[in-house]
Amino acid sequence: MSQLLIDNITVEFPGRKGDFIAVESVTLDLQAGEILGVVGESGAGKSTVGNAVIGLLQKPGRMIQGEILLDGNRIDDLDENLMRALRGKRIGMIFQDPLTSLNPLETVVEQLIETIDLHLKVGAKAARKRAIDLLGQVGIDNAEVRCDQYPHQFSGGMRQRVVIALALCAEPDVIIADEPTTALDVSVQAQILDLMRGICRDRNVGMILITHDMGVIAEVTDRVAVMYHGRLVELGKTAQVLGQPKHEYTKSLISAVPRSDRRIDRFPLVTYIEDVGDMPDIDLDAHWLGQAKAYEKNDGPLLKLTDLSMRFITRHSIFPSKRQFLTAVDEVSFDIEHGEVFGIVGESGSGKSTIARMITGIYQPTGGKIEFAGTDLTALKTAKEINPWRRQMQMVFQDPFSSLNARMRVADIVAEPINFHKQAASKEECREIVNDLLEIVGLGKVAARKFPHEFSGGQRQRISIARALATRPRFLVCDEPTSALDVSIQAQVLNLLKDLQEELGLTMMFISHDLPVIRQMCDRVMVMKDGKLCEIAATEDLFNNPQHEYSRHLLDLIPKFGAS
């Protein structure tokens, strides 16, 4: 008998515009000690399945069909009190973001004690002992001391370990992990996945692992269920589903995952979902936008950084000797040639975004020189001197939701840089340019009158790209432009960036923590760690023959997928 049986459930969310079926006739079973992956893109209903199991469907969502059985006993019709007694005790849950999953005002041990005492009724003293044991088991060193610290004193990976300890408080039989490693760096992700696999094996716990990351699925799951638009499209042994997918959607999804093993010209699209229109027929060379090519070429590289450094003060003091600093970028030097796509890769805190911000003038570097087209930007003082250079470099940010002003129409968002840098002769011309830009990024001019919230993440990122292109830049900085997006959308956006880069002759700096994406996008790559430069190499060289130890380490950590 399976430990957990999700039998033919359908979940609907009643709404004013009619009922929305989030999950339709899904049947899954979970054996003890097994990790079952549930994979799909956003909106596929995979989290809804997890929430239905633990009885925490967001109101007004409800199950209108099917049963959920735990060890053969039906649990979906229990009343709230009985269900609450099951949560944490029989079914544990782990959420995506370890930074927000813990109460910031209580120490780690207080939160553990509350949960342990609630389920096991052992008293505060025994609960504390168990809490410290648990923390040790999930790999927190010096648990006796660290347990009395507050969540903010732990790093992201450590907090996720605390979250896992909390889920394990009462030895549950089943754990539902909802994107447990999505917010973590690749090396931390590897550790956490390792830990979770160990827990399932040693304690005979069944785990449902919900993720959008095919690499994670390939790495740890025994079986995998693929969901698409609320339906289960494929279920089987992981190796079999990934190796010989049967369903068209699965095939399409797998082919869209950027490969780390070889470079291909364009990203395959998830054609099953929708046909994405080709680039519109605008002759970019003759167009206003094409004039970006007309920039005077200087001799030597377009961008030359020399000993660039950035220090942030972490402790203020009147006495200079008592101040403490964090060196985010430590004397980094590199060049970017004309028309090149230059990649920067590294884990969070490695200083890669800080470099982008210094180049674009968001931060003032504490040391070093930034030469753009032969001009030292750090020597320029007034806005009047700097603005012409700023216009030539634009940035696309990571989070498509917070990087667009929610109260402005798309047309105004895209027009703002044009007007600021006085690039259009008249209002009519400006409007035309905006419309063309929206056509070029594949949104169409109907998008101009809408507000950002009417668009999905991928579409918003297209708006960001249109805005970045609006000043006719010749240098584009992309800071993790697709890390918040689904695989299929990521493929579209990356293709768009590639096309634009080629057609407009842009020079691009592409920042990512995702090595496969870097491999597909970049000509040369720089590897960074703790603010220091580890290695700069041509992309193919880096992947085939990494020189620096840390580069090798990073390459080893990529979840192996698609190598078959």
Partner 1 sequence: MISFIVKRLLQSALVMLSVAFIAFALFRFVGDPVANMVGQDTSTEERIQIRKALGLDDPVYIQFLNFTKNAVQGEFGNSFTLRVPVSGLMAQRFPATLELSLISAILALALGVPMGVYTAIHRKTLLSKAFMTISLMGVSLPTFLIGILLILIFGVVLRWLPTFGRGDVVDLGWWSTGLLTASGLKAIILPAITLGIFQMTLIMRLVRAEMMEVLRTDFIKFGRARGLSDRSLQFRHALKNTLIPVITITGLQVGSIIAFAIITESVFQWPGMGLLFIQAIGNADIPIMAAYLVLIAFIFVVINLVVDILYFVVDPRLRSSSESGSE
With CB under 8 A, what is the number of residues at the site for partner 1?
Answer: 39
Q: Does 155 participate in binding partner 1 (rule CB under 8 A)? A: yes
Q: Whose Cβ is closer to partner 1: residue 55's or residue 442's?
A: 55
Query: CB–CB of 22/12 below 8 Å?
Result: yes
From the CB of residue 11, how many other CB atoms can be counted at a distance below 10 Å?
Answer: 23
**Host H or E run for residue 457:** helix 457-469
Give the rounded distance of the alpha carbon of 347 from its chain centre: 12
529 binds partner 1, rule: CB under 8 A: no
Residues 94 and 54: beta-carbon distance below 8 Å? no
Q: How far is CA 174 from CA 4, 98, 187, 196, in A?
A: 8, 20, 26, 12
Q: Is 559 a binder of partner 1 (CB under 8 A)?
A: no
As given in the structure block, the two tokens for residue 161 are: 């370990």
Residue 23: phi and psi, rounded to 5, are -135, 130
Query: Cα(557)–Cα(36) distance, rounded to whole angstroms?
Result: 22
| The residue type at 434 | V
122 sits near partner 1 (criterion: CB under 8 A): no
- Is residue 104 part of the contact set for partner 1 (CB under 8 A)? yes
| Residue 169 binds partner 1, judged by CB under 8 A | yes
Q: Is 52 in the site for partner 1 (CB under 8 A)?
A: no
> To the nearest whole angstrom, how small is the minimum distance from the Cβ of residue 339 to partner 1?
40
48 binds partner 1 (CB under 8 A): no
Q: Is 73 in the site for partner 1 (CB under 8 A)?
A: no
Residue 114 Cβ vs partner 1, minimum distance, rounded to whole Å: 7
From candidates 13, 42, 87, 287, binder to partner 1 by CB under 8 A: 87
**Segment 289 to 318, residues that bind partner 1, using CB under 8 A:** 314-315, 317
Q: Which two tokens stand for residue 549?
A: 């130890």
Please tell me whether residue 183 binds partner 1 under the rule CB under 8 A.
no
Alpha-carbon span 254 to 245, nearest angstrom:
8
Least gap, CB of 176 to partner 1 (angstroms): 8
User: Could you say which of 131, 163, 199, 218 contacts partner 1 (CB under 8 A)?
Assistant: 163
Q: For residues 202 and 204, what is the distance between their CA atoms, to the nearest angstrom? A: 6
Q: Which stretch binds partner 1 (CB under 8 A): 110-118, 235-243, 363-371, 510-518?
A: 110-118
Of 115 and 189, the one with the shorter C-beta distance to partner 1 is: 115
Determine if 97 is a binding residue for partner 1 (CB under 8 A). yes
Nearer to partner 1, 164 or 395 (CB): 164
Applying CB under 8 A, among 22, 35, 140, 166 the residue interacting with partner 1 is: 166
- Residue pair 535/192 in contact (Cβ under 8 Å)? The answer is no
**Partners of 39 in beta bridges:** 211, 226
Residue 56 touches partner 1, criterion: CB under 8 A? yes
Pairing mode, if any, of strands 324-336 and 303-315? antiparallel
Distance CA 250, CA 52 (A): 24
Identity of the residue, 153 or 419, whose beta carbon is nearer to partner 1 in the bound complex: 153
Q: Based on the shown chain and the rule CB under 8 A, indicate whether residue 119 belongs to the binding site for partner 1.
A: yes
Between residues 75 and 235, which has the closer beta carbon with respect to partner 1? Answer: 75
Tokens 């206003």 found at:
288
Continuous H helices in 169-206: 186-203
Closer to partner 1 by Cβ: residue 169 or 521: 169
**Interacting residues with partner 1 (CB under 8 A):** 54, 56, 84-89, 92-93, 95, 97, 100-107, 114-115, 118-119, 149-150, 152-155, 158, 163, 166-167, 169, 314-315, 317, 324
